[in-house]
Amino acid sequence: MFHRKQENIEMNTKKTTISRSDELIIELNKRVGVIISLLLRMVNQEKSSISLKDQVSLLDDLGLRPRDIAKILGRTSSHVNKELAGIRKEKGKKSPK
């Protein structure tokens, strides 16, 4: 007999048990949302594509980890981290103190 691995996750102060397959569905939904968001933003721009820096910023804003961003964009994690450092530095300069 096979047993599903289950974990307890807190959601809205209730303990909910979800299976590994449910976790995978949640992750897939997240990634589909990212793809849709990227496509929509590309359509709304006058240019046919957006810069690497903008793509990294967008994916970061959507909650992806640097290693996931690197996989999606076909870059190294160190390159993505370098881009993120520059982006965060720019955001720090733009925000009023």
Domain ranges of the chain: 8-94
| Token duo for residue 21 | 């397959």
Q: What is the pLDDT of residue 6?
A: 45
Digit-coded pLDDT (tens) for 41-58: 676 566 667 788 988 898
Digit-coded pLDDT (tens) for 79-95: 999 999 999 999 888 77
| Stated pTM of the model | 0.57
How far is 86 from 52, CA to CA, in rounded Å?
Answer: 12
Average pLDDT, the chain: 78
Q: What is the pLDDT of residue 32?
A: 84
Q: What is the pLDDT of residue 77?
A: 95
